[in-house]
Structure 1
Amino acid sequence: MARETNRYFKFDWVTIILFLLLVGFGWLNILSASHSGTEIDYFDFSQPFGKQLIFIFLSLILIVFILAFDAKFYERFSSIIYIVSMLSLVGLFLFGKNVNGATSWYAIGSFTIQPSEFAKTATALAIAKYISDLNTDIRTVKDQLRTFIIIIIPAVLVLLQNDTGSTIVYGTFFFVLYREGLPRLYLVLSVLVVFISVIALKFGAIITTIVVALIVFIFRFLTKVKLSILQTIFIIGVSAALSFGIQFFYKSILRAHQQDRISLWLRLEKDPKKLEAMKRTFAYNLNESEKAISSGGFTGRGFMEGTRTTGKFVPEQHTDYIFSTVGEEWGFLGSASVVILFVLLLLRILHLAELQKSQFSRVYGYSVASIIFMHFFINIGMVMGLIPTIGIPLPMFSYGGSGLWAFTILLFIFIKLDSNRINEW
């Protein structure tokens, strides 16, 4: 009887502890970024730090429910979960609430919920289910197309809601597919597309085409890579089409604020006056964030002692720019600690994913790691000015109920799946 009881408590506690550390440290920084500077009532539920306590409490309840279900439930009902999630995204076009230009929330009184956060988990389950099917071979074009469709449907629905940040996250599933046998060609092509796009925006389509042509000819005549004339012409032609296409997309499809953010990142604007105006409008958050981080030095100013944080210089500091609070008040040591915690969590998930005896669990585990990594990479890169400003939260750390609950569900489903491996005897 004791053995049967202990079986239900055999989870990977290293992962759970890392999760709790990130959530707890995140709450401390939300408290610092959102308190008014007067005497603090920790249970003031009108303030972000008070609301986050409720979100954390509800997350703990969610964990109990997730771990209580049989692990097979998530595999058996993954398709239904995916369909329901897609319907929730479609429903936003009819009943969604517009916040900051994005129609991504359902509003129930003063309470809002963002279904796109949960759609990532649903997509991860659907991909794991499809790839682990005995009739699926990801190396065949037919199954590749079907898998791409599973990914593209939520990505397009989220993009149509003007939520670019969440859309980008779906690209991370290609790393999962690569682990399961997707030809390396797709990964190489993806890198090349990004490279050509950036060069085309920075230097123009004609110069980009010339550069690609030179690289191709170098490969053709000076290396062992043998390309026929037709292959050479095809590569140069596709590169030219992509270069001109990306410029058309940038100038004619993207909205003005999206153009300005890319322009600031790549320093495309030549007019000094317009550039200064763009910086005041679109780079204000970033500039203040960089100032806050740099002012923290090596050890930081101290908890609740950050002048830029307490002075509310950084907008959205308790959400997308929460890492700037860490940088100012906890310094390089605190920032490095957060990065280390995330790296340890990601490495732990990947390690557990490789230990799985079920392909479904392995694919899902890699999906969990990929989603968390993409959020982590984009958010910190954005706050430090390394990539364009994209509204995306830091997992388990930023303020918000939908984000915290979605990552809780995403991670603890995998912990439950992993418990099957631990509990086998």
Structure 2
Amino acid sequence: MRQERNNIFAGIDWILVFLYLFLVGFGWLNIYAATRTEEDVALLSFSTKYGKQLIFICFTLPLIIFILFFNSKFYERFSGILYLLSLLSLLGLFLFGKTINGATSWYDFGGIGLQPSEFVKAFTALAIAKLLSDRLYNFKLIKNQIKAFIIIFTPSVFIILQPDAGSALIYLAFFFVLNREGLTLNYILLGAITILVFILTIYFGPKPILTILIVLLTFYLIVILRKAGIRFLRFNWFKILCAFLVFGLFVIGTDYVYKNVLPAHQKDRFDILLGIKTDNTGIGYNSYQSEFTISSGGFNGKGFLKGDLTQGDFVPEQHTDYIFSIVGEEWGFLGSSCVIILFMLLLFRIIYLAETHNNKFGRVYGYGVASILFFHMIVNIGMVIGLLPTVGIPLPFFSYGGSSLWGFTILLFIFIRLDAHKNYDW
């Protein structure tokens, strides 16, 4: 047993490792297809995007070995310190960060940029796992739920201030983790209703939605009155009236923020997504070209390096946020489906292994990993095919960027290390 503990590869789930390597490798092929030119020759070169990404991939090997070098108890014991250090890395951006495309989200190290928000997700997952696995922690208490919310939303607030709303949105994924550990579905239901009311208010305007709310309240009152008596007197009218009042104020506030506070380009994206207006040459150009590129691939695709729209660079940022459009054109519906299936296999494998953990810390962290990867996949692919607005969220293991690749690698391989040691009594 001691010899096994000294072997950093002992107990590793090689299925997860294989899925990781395949996704990273296939992702690089699509980055190569999106960025190569006839003049490019060298693969390992900082002069090309695919060359840089290949170097980033090579650096994941020492990163993985470094992660596996520590035993699982290290990550549990120092999760709070790692979380605080990650928050400091976000705060440091306001003093030493580099502004790119209007967002101060990067550190510049001699031409190599690092985006700390890509790494904070893993350490937030560790902090949540540490909190929820505490024996004295009772998640049913409101004050303890607030503690979890503070851990989750503190980094997201720092990220919004950069401003980078897309990266901040990812922290909503932790609600899946909280729900697994006992958080009532009412929170998720309330969030879903809030989003629905938000969308309906934008599309129809505040007056029709307020009218519907008044009609619903009136109908509800009629139903209650028909059951008059003791039950009627005991009914909690205060909560009902407060709920309708809050939603009414939310509708009015949404309309005001949408018309007077929201930046013009974000407002335009919602208008295009909801079909309020069409703009295939301006703000909606990226989404239009992405959808057209994917649809042009048909069932089997045009073949590797044979996508004329990809090779013609018709989709801006095709090697980063819109990389799935390359998969659609060159590999078709069949290849796109295989990529989604591989992602789902990865997620199901993580959840399956998480459920086998006797240690609650490992289980909670596993669900955190699965939730973050799932949220990234759904939002990115939904954005690329036009179901969601453009928010700038990378596709895990596919999108170009060292920070993104290393952040997801850290996130996944910490779980692989925890899983490898789940049967050890340290």
Band of TM-score, shorter chain: over 0.9
Alignment of 1:36 with 2:15, yes or no, is no
Deviation string, structure 1 residues 338-358 (Cα, Å, up to 9, x no partner)? 100111111111111111111
SS at match of 2:107: strand
Q: 2:138–2:144: 8 Å Cα contact kept in structure 1?
A: yes
Q: Secondary structure at the match of 2:106?
A: strand
* Contact 2:11 2:421 survives alignment (8 Å): no
- Corresponding residue number in structure 2 for 1:374: 375
1:323-362 aligned at under 5 Å gives the runs: 323-362=324-363
Residues 104/308 of structure 1: CA separation in 2 closer, same or farther (3 Å cut): same
Task: Provide the residue aligned with 2:138 in structure 1.
Answer: 137
20 and 236 in structure 1: CA distance in 2 versus 1, 3 angstrom threshold: same
Aligned to 2:264: 256
Matched position secondary structure for 2:108: strand
Aligned to 1:124: 125
1:49 alignment counterpart: 50
Structure 1 distance, partners of 2:201, 2:412, is: 38
Distance in 1 of aligned mates of 2:260 and 2:403:
33
Offset from partner CA, 1:83-111 (integer Å, 9 cap, x none): 11101101101111111111100011211
State yes or no: 1:315 paired with 2:316: yes
TM-score (norm 1): 0.93
Matches within 5 A, 1:79-98: 79-98=80-99
| Equivalent residue in structure 2 for 1:241, among 246, 249, 256 | 249
- Quick one: distance in 2 between partners of 1:91 and 1:3? 42
Please state whether the residue corresponding to 1:356 is helix, strand or coil. coil
Q: Is the 8 A contact 1:10 1:422 kept in 2?
A: no
TM-aligned CA distance change 1:228 to 1:143, over 3 Å: closer
Using the size of structure 2 for normalisation, the TM-score is 0.93
Offset at residue 216 of structure 1 (A): 4.8
CA distance in 1, matches of 2:345, 2:275: 35
| CA distance, structure 1, for counterparts of residue 394 and residue 47 of structure 2 | 21
When residues 102 and 7 of structure 1 are mapped into structure 2, their CA distance, relative to the original with a 3 A threshold, is closer
- Cα deviation, residue 378, structure 1: 0.6
Q: Distance in 2 between matches of 1:70 and 1:95?
A: 33
State the match for 1:266 in structure 2: 274
Q: Is the 8 A contact 1:200 1:246 kept in 2?
A: yes
Is the deviation greater in 331-340 or in 176-185? 176-185
Contact kept in structure 2, 1:86 and 1:154, CA below 8 Å: yes
Q: Post-superposition shift, 1:424?
A: 6.8
Separation (CA, whole Å) in 2 of partners of 1:352 and 1:73: 20
2:421 maps to 420
Q: In the alignment, what sits opposite 1:391?
A: 392
CA positional deviation for 1:177: 0.6
Tell me, in whole angstroms, the C-alpha distance in 2 between the residues paired with 1:413 and 1:174: 21
Distance 1:7 1:408 in 2: 16
- Tell me which amino acid in the other structure corresponds to 1:89: L
Whole-Å separation in 2 of the counterparts to 1:211 and 1:369: 38
Cα distance change, pair 353–245 in 1 and its aligned pair in 2 (3 A): same
SS at match of 1:282: coil
Amino acid at match of 2:270: I
Give the stretch that moved more between structures: 338-347 or 244-253.
Answer: 244-253
Provide the residue aligned with 2:174 in structure 1.
Answer: 173
Of stretches 178-187 and 157-166 in structure 1, the one that deviates more from structure 2 is 178-187
Per-residue deviation, 1:379:
0.4
Q: How many residues align?
A: 418
SS at match of 2:99: strand
Residues 378-404 of structure 1: per-residue CA shift (max 9 Å, x gap): 100000000011101100111100000
Letter in 2 for 1:137: N
Shift in alpha-carbon separation, 1:220–1:9, aligned structure 2, 3 A: farther
Distance (whole Å) between structure 2 residues aligned to residue 216 and residue 124 of structure 1: 40
The 2-side partners of 1:180 and 1:212 are apart by: 33
Following the alignment from structure 2 to structure 1, what is the Cα–Cα distance between the partners of residues 415 and 222?
50
Q: Helix, strand or coil for the counterpart of 2:52? A: helix
Counterpart Cα distance in 1 of 2:8 and 2:52: 35
- Name 1:294's counterpart in structure 2: 295
Residues in 1 aligned to 2:272 and 2:34: alpha-carbon distance in whole angstroms: 26
Alignment of 1:191-206 (within 5 A): 191-206=192-207
Aligned-pair CA distance for 1:214: 3.5
* Cα displacement (A) at 1:41: 2.8
Q: Give the distance between the partners of 1:306 and 1:72, measured in 2 at CA.
A: 48
Closer, same or farther: CA 188–217 of 1 in aligned 2, 3 Å: farther
**1:246-278 deviations in Å (ceiling 9; x for gaps):** 122222332221111112112334xxxxx54xx
Asked if structure 1 preserves the Cα contact closer than 8 Å seen for 2:396 and 2:404, the reply is yes
Alignment check: 8 A CA contact 2:67 2:413 kept? yes
Q: Residue type of the partner of 2:297? A: G
Partner of 1:21: 22
Distance 2:137 2:411 in 1: 24
Structure 2's unaligned 5+ residue stretches are none
Aligned to 1:113: 114
Amino acid paired to 2:265 = H
Given residue 260 of structure 1, which amino acid in structure 2 is its aligned partner?
D
Relative distance call for 1:222 and 1:355 in structure 2 (3 A) is farther
Contact 1:289/1:383 (CA < 8 Å) preserved in 2?
A: yes
